[in-house]
Structure 1
Amino acid sequence: MKNLSNFPKGFLWGASISAYQAEGATAKDGKGKTIMDIANFGEEYCDFSVASDFYHHYKEDIALMKEMGFKSFRFSISWARIFPDGEGAINKKGIEFYNNVINELVRNNIKPIVTIFHFDTPLALEEKGGWSNRDVILPAFDKYADTLFKEYGDRVKHWITINEQNVITISNLNFGMFSKGKRFTPTETFQKNHVLFMANAVAINNYKKNYSHQKGIIGPAPNHSPTYPKTTKPEDQIAAMNAGVMRNWMYFDAYVRGEYNPIALKYFKDLGIKLDIKKDDLDIMKQAKPDFLGFNYYTSMTVEYSDTSELTKIMDQQVGFDIPGMFKAVKNDKLVESPYGWAIDPLGLRYSFREIYERYRLPLLITENGIGVKETLNKDNTVNDDYRIDYYHKHIVAMREAISEGIEVIGYNPWTAIDLVSTHQGFSKRYGFIYIDRDEKDLKEMKRYRKKSFFWYQEMIKNNGDNIM
């Protein structure tokens, strides 16, 4: 594409991590347990107890981010580090830790982008029903979010309410990844999903009502995958539209418009799903207008028409899933795949920018984008990750093309700044610009090393992406 626009001045180049995948120190300084602390994703993989040990290395890691030229850094706060039981008394050591992280970022001219909830429900709340028990979880979440606004809002000007609510919902429906392995019925799953919508709305409404003087912005960050039809058959096109609703638009519509997509409501009706929606819920959701939309992009989804009566099954919450009578996920033979089977589709990112912005006309922020690969250090203590450079180059070109088409993009925070524990594949699956020298079971010395992509991204940020063509 000719005549590409430059990236905006003040564009938020950076990267992301999450608390449970990077911090470690899961039982230190008063932190309570979360559902992720007791999760079991296979004995061959490490747990989250040490992870990347960001808790003890945050100054070193932020110094490396500064060296790369980061303008922003997206990270999540662990609810159980602030409220060990999810509610009740505040843990002052937890408040202090995140104050230290935020202050270190500010000292290095890196804007903190804070995610309030990134999968790690406090275990004490889960034992009371978690997201199934709105009478417990919503007041607790409201108090938790309010505490973050109060403690950090003078320095944090970008807030993300909930990370990948659609992944939580799809995964719980199929194998209970984020609920201690319990697989929920469709009614239970989508009721929890509704409570998550309410949590997002409660946090946004509180921030806008009580903290507007802080002059920050707030919005959610669902995962987004464009949905393609396998063939030109009209049935496959309808299947792609159905998949788009159940994978993406049901969530975006609730966030932005405060309403349920009618195709999703028809699905609920057909399956006999009856949601307990309180009298004022939809009014509260409609009031909660996000200032921007974050979204995580990794891959696209290709589907064909399905009229089968088979049970819903999942391939991978990123790659695709089936809903009988609506769509069936299939492989896209036009795209190459990552080592973990995810289709690499840079043009799908441009497609995503266009379809999201066309529907909602809100500024967009990439909150995750990346490629996970097994990696080892070379003898010269680096990693020649040319595949990652190629991946990012193509996706950033797609982003620049979208900006050239008039789409408002405010930042790019790929996954991840440093290597961390993948939820599925432990430390074997690495995403970072910075290599952390540890194995699944052997912590070694946890030394940090710059990958080849570190220097590439450093140069790219220095030029504000203008060298990307």
Structure 2
Amino acid sequence: MGASSLRQSLLLRLALLLFLAEHGVLGRNYSRDDFPSDFVFGAGTSAYQYEGAVDEDGRKASIWDTFTHEGRAPHKSNGDVASDGYHKYKEDVKLMSDMGLEAYKFSISWSRLLPDGRGVINSKGLNYYNNVVNEIFNQGIKLHVTLYHGDLPQVLQDEYGGWLNKRIVDDFKEYANVCFREFGDRVSQWITFAEPNIMAMAGYDRGFFAPGRCSYPFGPNRCAAGNSTTEPYIVAHNVLLTHARVVELYRNTYQDNQGGQIGMNIYSMWYYPLTSSLLDFVATKRALDFLIGWYLHPLIFGDYPEIMKKNAGGRLPSFTQEQLELVKGSFDFISLNHYTSSFVSDNSNNSQLSQRDYIADKFVEIRGLRNGTETKGLPTKLLTDPLGLLRMLEHIKENYENPSVYIEENGYGLGAADILADTDRINYLSVYIGSVLDAMRNGVKVKGYFVWSFVDLFEVLSGYNSCFGLYRVDFDDEERTRSPKLSAYWYSNFLKKNIEVIDFEGIAAGEKFF
């Protein structure tokens, strides 16, 4: 370790000592030992946000490549290099091992493995993912692998409209089969889709995620094509049918031999009624049905929530009896991405609702908090509300038959010049982990918790203007140098059950913290 790096490490560790002296080891009285031994703590990334190398070794374009290169993303940046994980994965796995990470969640790029969406496997892409999987597996770190994190091969979007067409079911099933066959002997958990509720809404109703489809009056200056009144529902329906077919494939062909589990990931946000009125209370329940019930109702009960069927009417596709039986129960666990909470007020008397899309069908207005002041829309800075996560987990337990749940994204974004002494992030993570423990003590079957993200990434909402990583990535450096933040030290000590946070003799000897 060089002199400057050693000094930086010393200063960060001293900052951690002072922080813990002020707030306690975790800001509350719990430790890793309070969680079961088979509970997993991890961190995550996703392919387009992490890998870079978008035109190397046979990879072809995804819809996110096209979307960002056309300048349609709100932040006008792209993931061409991102964190350069394609070239730096060995270094990153070493950091995971040194930290004591128990599990790692990442996604596979469909267009790197099957560049044409189906057919011939890209041997270099296959080698890359085998190398990644082996590197992680050999360190004793559990693999949680997402098949789809928004990056559809552009060729399938061009050929038949991607998720708007039922042909996608067979193509995705072929892609999933390759993944199960090639990597499944080392994968603990498979996640079919990451945040398909946000994918449908942001990609096909508001148009600020790839492929950027929407219609007037919901985004007339943003989208060249789309239909916000119907496409979000069509996409979600095709995702559910695809998910069910893939789960069927996995269970019938691979699960017994490989011993893994399979589920779906959903974006969650807790909602509070803005006032004590009955209308706002009912609106809050309606907002939850539209956000998570959209997927959980079919997976648990075999059909969409009644309020969705009532408000969307014929624009919401229906399941055949065969499809209903296939979708119902097609999971071993539910995976949640959860960050924040918002307030809801009833909006059912809005005269402008004659123009109907997915958001209007909810008849609610979502309000967030910024600096303690109510603001329309989602909060621009994450609202720290660990009680919201507890209530979300209890809501799922009470309304959806208490399935096994993993929290597979939870994190705190700071500015582009993300400081290494990120005490705000430590505060955030510690209270949210505490809520997970509270939920488990209340009978919720939570099986794991993952920090978003392991290293700084290309963020789909903010590009490189907001950083979530436990490790800082210097995006101005061609080498994409990694540096541990205070939160990385804190998380490592929690995982390793350390009581003494700093070993000054070790620092003096030039030893690594991990």
Asked whether the two chains share a fold, i.e. TM above 0.5, the reply is yes
Match of 2:323 among 281, 287, 290: 281
Residue identity opposite 2:307 in structure 1: I
Distance in 2, Cα, partners of 1:302 & 1:339: 10
Distance in 1, Cα, partners of 2:117 & 2:278: 49
Residue identity opposite 1:416 in structure 2: S
Residue identity opposite 2:137 in structure 1: V
Distance in 2, Cα, partners of 1:249 & 1:90: 36
1:392 paired with 2:429, answer yes
CA displacement 1:221-253 (0-9 Å, x = unmatched):
101112211111101111111111111112111
1:72 CA drift (Å): 0.3
Aligned partner of 2:35 in structure 1 is 7
Aligned partner of 1:308 in structure 2 is 350
RMSD value over aligned CA atoms?
2.6
Residues 1:312 and 1:186: Cα distance change in structure 2 (over 3 Å)? same
Q: Is the 8 A contact 1:236 1:304 kept in 2?
A: yes
- TM-score scaled by structure 1? 0.90
1:259 aligned counterpart, secondary structure = coil
Q: Is the 8 A contact 1:312 1:324 kept in 2?
A: no
Q: Is the 8 A contact 1:202 1:284 kept in 2?
A: yes
1:432 paired with 2:469, answer yes
2:49 aligned counterpart, secondary structure = helix
1:189 CA drift (Å): 1.9
1:196 CA drift (Å): 0.5
Residue identity opposite 1:447 in structure 2: T
Distance in 1, Cα, partners of 2:92 & 2:85: 7
1:310 aligned counterpart, secondary structure = helix
Aligned partner of 1:317 in structure 2 is none
Aligned partner of 1:447 in structure 2 is 481
Residues 1:2 and 1:101: Cα distance change in structure 2 (over 3 Å)? closer
1:222 aligned counterpart, secondary structure = strand
1:462 CA drift (Å): 1.1
1:281 aligned counterpart, secondary structure = helix
Distance in 2, Cα, partners of 1:444 & 1:302: 42
1:203 CA drift (Å): 1.0
Distance in 2, Cα, partners of 1:261 & 1:149: 32
Aligned partner of 1:133 in structure 2 is 165
- TM-score scaled by structure 2? 0.82
Distance in 1, Cα, partners of 2:336 & 2:319: 26
CA displacement 1:186-214 (0-9 Å, x = unmatched):
22220111000111111111111111221
The structure with the largest alpha-carbon Rg is 2
Distance in 2, Cα, partners of 1:108 & 1:10: 17
CA displacement 1:88-135 (0-9 Å, x = unmatched):
211111111111001000111111100011000110001121011112
Residues 1:336 and 1:387: Cα distance change in structure 2 (over 3 Å)? farther
> Structure 1 or 2: larger helix share?
2
1:324 CA drift (Å): 5.8
Match of 2:388 among 348, 355, 369: 348
Any gaps of 5 or more consecutive residues in structure 2? Answer: 1-27, 215-226, 502-514
Distance in 1, Cα, partners of 2:316 & 2:77: 39
1:295 aligned counterpart, secondary structure = strand
Distance in 1, Cα, partners of 2:260 & 2:355: 41
Match of 2:245 among 165, 188, 202: 202
Distance in 2, Cα, partners of 1:246 & 1:214: 35
1:177 CA drift (Å): 3.3
CA displacement 1:407-458 (0-9 Å, x = unmatched):
22111112100000010211121000001111xxx44431111111110000
1:461 paired with 2:503, answer no
Distance in 2, Cα, partners of 1:312 & 1:404: 46
1:300 aligned counterpart, secondary structure = strand
Aligned partner of 2:282 in structure 1 is 238
Distance in 2, Cα, partners of 1:301 & 1:361: 24
